[in-house]
Amino acid sequence: MAHKKGQGSSRNGRDSNAQRRGVKKFGGEHVIPGNILIRQVGNKWRPGKNVGQGRDYTLFALTEGHILFDQEGRRINVVSAEQLAENIAAKHAAAAAAN
């Protein structure tokens, strides 16, 4: 006759693997065609210039260039090095004029 009640196994103790979503390439980074830029659920970021979107909303580069995030429209673009330099210079000029 048992003197202790048998212990049942726990119904917890399981977990699923992480889905590894998020930004994979950051602003100013050099990319080549096919590089994954962002893995996301839904259109948190939208594809801009030279960026494609997969069926699972993954954003990827269509051309070689550098990443440029557009905060107003929440778009991500791939631009050439010259365009990136022009864009940064324009932002600095606008900030200097505002001060």
* Whole-Å CA distances, 20 to 61, 75, 79, 81: 19, 21, 26, 29
Binning pLDDT at 50, 70 and 90, where does residue 81 land?
confident
CA atoms within 13 A on the CB side of 4: 3
Strand partners, 53: 59
Tell me the percentage of the chain whose pLDDT exceeds 70. Answer: 98
Binning pLDDT at 50, 70 and 90, where does residue 2 land?
low
Segments making up each domain of the chain, as ranges: 22-98
pTM, full prediction: 0.77
- CATH code for the structural domain at 22-98: 2.40.50.100
Write out the H or E segment, with its range, that includes residue 57: none
